[in-house]
Chains A and B, each alone.
Chain A
Amino acid sequence: MTLAVLNIEWQTLADATALGAVYALMAVGIGLVFGVLRLVNFAYGQLVMAGAYALALASQWEWPVWAGIVLCFAVVLALSLLMDRLVFRPLRGQSPAVMLVATFAVAFLLQSIALLAFGPLGKIATSLASLNRPVTVGGVDIRKITIVAIVVAALCLLALVLLLERTTVGLHMRAASMDFATARLLGVRANRVIGAAVLVSGALAAVVAIMLTVQNPLVTPDFALRDTIVVLAGVVVGGLNRPIPATLGGFAIGFASGILGGALPTEKSQYLPSFLFAAVILVLLVRPGGLFTRYRGAVERV
């Protein structure tokens, strides 16, 4: 069955939506930390990678599924806090460029550690592989993970909105991302707000790790690296400094890459990133402030 006009199969559409949903979670994770620290965390993908290794090890040790998920969260959250404590906090007063380069260093460091510890061949995370089985919805075969990913992403985003809108720490996070200096003058504790953002962002990375290992069970040191680069492009396209546009940007680029991946013939699939980034460049030429932000006049540059 196809969506006749566009010649796109329903299955492709569902998979693209699921990829968009997972990328939206990564975009929020990156956007939350950017909001309070003005820091683009390039090492975000390595948090996902670490979570994926935790899942792979858990399945190697034949742990039950729930224990693997708990281990994944524990590893990613601990690593997030360590990153904040050892790298972000000491460099907080430095320029954004210094912080960005530092996150590059962290990314490559973590990748190298994974290479040394687990070798280049990768490990297999199999405990959730049953989610790849299809179910039939309205005559269309859809993999379970597609539905799970969309539902989980929607629930995570809903929980995040409630956290930001309804709780005191959420209010403090929003205020800090608008004007951190004034928030501190009002007694908002900088370390606590940044710690909360880092933790929530880490929890999202753990969720992403679980979703991605189902789709791609072979965990290698460069796991999620390509996804991170694509999501970063999506976040910039959406509008980095606002949570909702960043999320939409992440979703849009995931969706686009899913649709393109389905539409391109198999032998041309290596051109997918080229098409994707060509689209990113076009969007940024037309709307430098981001696709989903209100236009606020020219960006101050040159």
Chain B
Amino acid sequence: MTEGALVVENLDVRYGGVHAVRGVSFSVERGEIVGLIGANGAGKSSTLHAVMGLVSSAAGEVRAAGASLRRRRPEDVARAGIALVPEGRRVFAELTVDENLRLGLAARRSRGGSPGLLEHVYELFPIVREFRRRPAGALSGGQQQQLAIARALVAEPDVLLLDEPSLGLAPRVVDLVFDALAAIREQGLAVLLVEQRAQRTVALADRSHVLANGELRLTLGPEDAADTETMVAAYFS
């Protein structure tokens, strides 16, 4: 069997004396969404940060398409085909929507372009095309979230990581974002979705890992989405 687009093995992250992630292992294949759910402080974001090289992992291994990402700088991880949609969107408020998209090109591996790419991103998020000359700071939170995902996609990554994309969004916009993620999966990307909205994530993802206290406690499939009791139990175990 060939290796997954993203493989995390026995990952450990420590901040001083705090053991934030303990021996976490999972993998994401192309054309697959894997959810990472859990309460605040469960180690979800720390896992993403360790993958991106924002924090150094104490132990364990992270590989993308077979190549190790450990001890690499964030810009090099991005250039290896891993795109992060960070928590809080982090769009450049003073730059225009178009300039934000152009920044996304920084990590692209192939020179020149796929001319259809921008069209494709616009199709997924029409709002990005409509407001492309506006400063990104003038967009609403939901529009900024769409821009942040679009910005990650123009890099043509193999793996898309999302850190709480639905945080603070109106339910209608959450629908839009989750629909877009399903469409992105169809295109063959490997998607790792970190979320607090457990039920929706479990329903969308091919499988969802429940993190508590830095450890993987349980893996749920879409069929468990209705069974909230299992999930609640998992949270507080």
Contact = CB atoms under 8 A, between A and B. Distances in A.
B102 A184 contact: no
Interface string B50-79: 001010000000000000000001110011
A110 B102 CA distance: 40
A115 interface: no
A186 B107 contact: yes
B92 A182 contact: yes
B66 to A, nearest CB: 20
Interface in A170-196: 171-172, 174-175, 178-179, 181-190
Contacts of A190: 73, 75
A168 interface: yes
Contacts of B95: 171, 174-175, 178
Interface residues of B, number: 24
A164 B84 CA distance: 25
B39 interface: no
A183 B78 CA distance: 10
A178 B94 contact: yes
Q: Which of A175, A179, A184 has the most CB of B within 10 A?
A: A184
B106 interface: yes
B106 A188 contact: yes
A178 B102 CA distance: 15
A185 B160 CA distance: 12
B153 to A, nearest CB: 12
A219 B170 CA distance: 65
B86 A171 contact: no
B98 to A, nearest CB: 10
B90 interface: yes
A179 B108 CA distance: 20
Contact of B75 (A175, A178, A184): A184
A190 B84 CA distance: 17
Given A172-B106, A175-B95, A186 B151 contact: yes
Contact of A185 (B86, B93, B99): B86
A171 B86 CA distance: 20
Interface of B: 52, 54, 73-75, 78-79, 84, 86, 90, 92-95, 99, 102-108, 151, 155
13 contacts: A171-B99, A171-B102, A175-B92, A181-B74, A182-B86, A184-B74, A185-B90, A186-B103, A186-B104, A186-B106, A187-B106, A188-B103, A190-B75
Given A185-B74, A186-B78, A190-B73, 4 more contacts: A171-B103, A178-B93, A179-B90, A186-B107
